Structure 1
Amino acid sequence: MLPNALTLLNLFCGCCALVSIFSMDFRSAILCVAASAVLDFADGMAARLLKVHSEIGKQLDSLADMVSFGVVPSAVVYMLLAARADVNIYNDSVFMSRVNIAGLPAFLIAVASCYRLAKFNLDTRQTTNFIGLATPANTLFFVGLLLILLNNAPFGGWERILFEPIVLYVLTVIFSFLLISEIPMFSLKIKNFEWKGNENRYIFLVLSLILLLILRGAASFFYYDCLCLINVFGYLLGRKKTA
């Protein structure tokens, strides 16, 4: 079926992204992740439009997402931590003995993503919106770091702070928590193309396009995560009111 074919292409692009990241070809990695994100959106859309839903399709989607949106962001953080050591990551023994250990916490993202995807497969509450941060949104955030790296290196301003090891560790913990949290999150799932019922989704897409045209780079990838922060504050305020 077409949806399953799109899902498998998503997986293929995710594998290509991993190869590119570990080869430090970050431009190719960004393109591969972007392709995975488009395919991940397209397979769900195709399944809804064609009205074809299968258990194998559901499982394939999560397995593909585990690579494209679970392992990939971990690999990004891992390589960013490795780059901070200022050594030849392929030939220097220092990398093998020290940087590998320093970068291992990055794979907490992969662990949290795995739990989040398994939970999603069994959670009947997440039909129209998400509970917890979606793995594609999480990945786009960390790919945004790669865009900043490519567009601004060498750093001379605030960008340098984002790549400090302590900041990368903190971001890893925060986003891992958001992945497995019970916080309601914004979703782009569209059952039809009508305006009614999809107002927020269409507004979000238009604003994202405007930001992409104006900012032409990394900042546009952070927009979804800003919405997630809004969801977090809304969730906390809602709990305070009901307490």
Structure 2
Amino acid sequence: MSKGRRRRGVYLLPSLLTISNLLCGVYAIVAVHNDEYTRAAIAILIALIMDGLDGAVARLTNTQSDFGVQLDSLADLVAFGVAPAILTYAWAIKPYSKMGLLFGSIIPTALFVSSGAFRLARFNVQTRILDNRYFVGLPIPAAAAVIASFVLFMRESPSLILFQRELLSDRVTSALMVVIVYALSFLMVSPLRYRSLKGIEIKKRQPFALLIGLTLVVSVIASEPGLVAFFCFFLYAMSGVIRMIPSIRRHVSEPVEHVIGGEGGP
């Protein structure tokens, strides 16, 4: 009887971290409703940290479960699907609703949430058959982090505040945000492969230089958090496209070489 009860229970620590991820997403939605866009962006980035911690804790304590996987996906859809989509709509799309159907409507917002839901469902189905070193499609937390860090950079960058001016006009920023949302939606449902960080061994001894390097990285992030975060997450989003370029070149060059070889034959 006691064994059966343990099977029906949940692992408390990773589940609490997952719920924290979910609550950060709920807070972000409420913050957007109150026109607190910076707080909403920060809440999404905190949710990203909680999402990374729950998986790391589950692996370190060997408390992984199917229940945890499903709960994590539901929390991710709220924190990294619905919350950033609402943030994007309220901050960049709704104020300029006359820019055109594809730019000033709810279409990009709905597409982002739908693509995120598809991405999570595909991951749950394929999680046991794919190489765990890679993700297929851009992970939804990374897509949400691109949006949140972009909002944070445009609203709170110390260099922009110092010069008391905006880097881009409001309309250009709005259009750029919509383009980013469309691009992220495509990358989430694409077959592109992205490197997973799950294989990093944090329990093993690491070189002392790595600690110095991480200290330097933290210092740089502290000086320009919005810019550095957006730059890092944007590079990760583009890494799947960059990884695909060599294979495209091979597919393009192979038929040409075949034709040239055929013409040069006897």
The TM-score, its normalising length taken from structure 1, stands at 0.80
Is this contact kept in 1: 2:140–2:188, CA < 8 A? yes
2:64 to 29, 53, 72: 53
Distance in 2, matches of 1:227 and 1:7, equals 23
Give the counterpart of 1:81 among 73, 89, 93: 93
Describe the shift of the 1:230–1:190 C-alpha distance in structure 2 as closer, same or farther (beyond 3 A).
Answer: closer
State the Cα distance separating 1:204 from its structure 2 match. Answer: 9.8
Query: Is the counterpart of residue 237 in structure 1 residue 246 in structure 2?
Result: yes
| CA apart distance, 1:179 | 0.5
Selected match of 2:121 from 101, 118, 121: 118
Letter in 2 for 1:115: F
Provide the TM-score with structure 2 as the length reference.
0.74
Q: Cα distance 1:205–1:48, how it changes in 2: closer, same or farther (>3 A)? A: farther
Rate the CA distance shift 1:21–1:62 in 2: closer, same or farther, 3 A: same
Cα distance between partner residues in 2 of 1:140 and 1:203: 25
Correspondences of 1:147-166 after superposition (within 5 Å): 147-151=152-156, 152=160, 155-158=165-168, 160=170, 163-165=173-175
Give 1:83 shift. 3.0
Distance in 1 (CA, whole Å) between partners of 2:231 and 2:130 is 26
CA gap 1:21/1:207 in 2 versus in 1, 3 angstroms: farther
Question: What residue is the counterpart of 2:257 in the other structure?
Answer: none
Inter-partner Cα distance in structure 2 for 1:114 and 1:102 = 20
1:50: Cα distance to partner?
A: 0.6
Alignment match, 1:226 = 235
* 1:33 paired residue number: 44
- Distance verdict in 2 for CA 1:183–1:37, change over 3 Å: same
The alpha-carbon deviation at position 40 of structure 1 amounts to: 0.3
The gaps in structure 2 that reach 5 residues or longer are 1-11, 255-266
Preserved CA contact (<8 Å) 1:129 1:189: no
Distance change (3 Å), C-alpha of 1:175 and 1:196: farther
Using a 3 Å threshold, how does the CA distance of structure 1 residues 203 and 222 change in structure 2: closer, same or farther?
A: farther
- Classify 1:196/1:175 alpha carbon distance in 2 versus 1 (closer, same or farther; 3 Å): farther
Structure 1 residues 118-177: Cα deviation after superposition (integer angstroms, max 9, x where no partner) = 000011215222111111111111112221332247754346565233x33322211100
Q: Alignment partner of 2:106: what SS?
A: helix
In structure 1, C-alpha distance between the alignment counterparts of 2:150 and 2:169, rounded to whole Å: 9
Aligned CA distance change for structure 1 residues 204 and 69 (closer, same or farther; 3 Å): farther
Partner of 2:180: 171
* 1:29-85 per-position Cα deviation (integer Å, ceiling 9, x unaligned): 133212211110110001000111211111000000000001112112111212336
* Distance in 2, Cα, partners of 1:83 & 1:17: 19
Structure 1 residue 227: deviation in Å?
A: 3.0
Whole-Å separation in 2 of the counterparts to 1:181 and 1:207 = 34
DSSP-derived class of the 1:182 partner: coil
SS at match of 1:163: helix
Distance 1:83 1:241 in 2: 45
Structure 1 residues 207 and 178, CA, compared in 2 at 3 Å: closer, same or farther?
farther
> Are residues 205 and 107 of structure 1, via their aligned partners in 2, closer, same or farther at CA, if it must alter by over 3 Å?
farther
Count residues with an aligned counterpart.
227
1:190 Cα deviation from its structure 2 partner: 3.8
Structure 2 match to 1:144? 149
Structure 1 residue 28: deviation in Å? 2.1
Structure 1 residue ranges without an equivalent (≥5): 86-93
Looking at structure 1, the residues matched to 215 and 172 of structure 2 have their Cα atoms a distance apart, in angstroms, of 28
Percentage of matched positions with identical amino acids: 27
Structure of greater Rg: 2
Residues 143/202 of structure 1: CA separation in 2 closer, same or farther (3 Å cut):
farther
